Amino acid sequence: MSITSRTESARWIELPAHWTPEQVLAVFEAVDLLRDHLWAAYGPEIQRALRDDRMTQQCPLPLGPDEPF
């Protein structure tokens, strides 16, 4: 799945309610480390995909050609 083809439902993960604080911290640290490595390897591609994704999702402002901005 490409970065820009994700849907809102794919962004939601139901977390277990029974994790201990130690387990939560371990997962948090692992995800943080993974994010750092992904950014180091694919930073420009991630930025481009996020920019493209946000540009296509934004609605144009209802301004006419004679509006001041």
pLDDT tens digits, 22-44: 999 999 999 999 999 999 999 99
Q: Is 53 among the domain residues?
A: yes
Residue 58: predicted pLDDT: 58
Q: Is 23 among the domain residues?
A: yes
Domain that holds residue 47: 19-57
Q: Is 30 among the domain residues?
A: yes
pLDDT-above-70 percentage for the chain: 72
Q: Is 36 among the domain residues?
A: yes
The answer to whether residues 48 and 4 touch, using CB atoms and an 8 Å cutoff, is no
Give the whole-angstrom CA distance, residue 60 versus residue 45: 25
Q: Is 13 among the domain residues?
A: no
What total number of domains does the chain contain? 1
> Is the model more confident about 5 or about 30?
30
Q: Is 34 among the domain residues?
A: yes
Give the whole-angstrom CA distance, residue 55 versus residue 27: 32
Q: Is 14 among the domain residues?
A: no
Widest Cα–Cα separation across the chain = 59
Q: Is 11 among the domain residues?
A: no
Instruction: Tally Cβ neighbours within 10 Å of residue 26.
Output: 12
The predicted model scores a pTM of 0.59
- Would you state the structure tokens that stand for residue 24, as one six-digit string? 């939560």
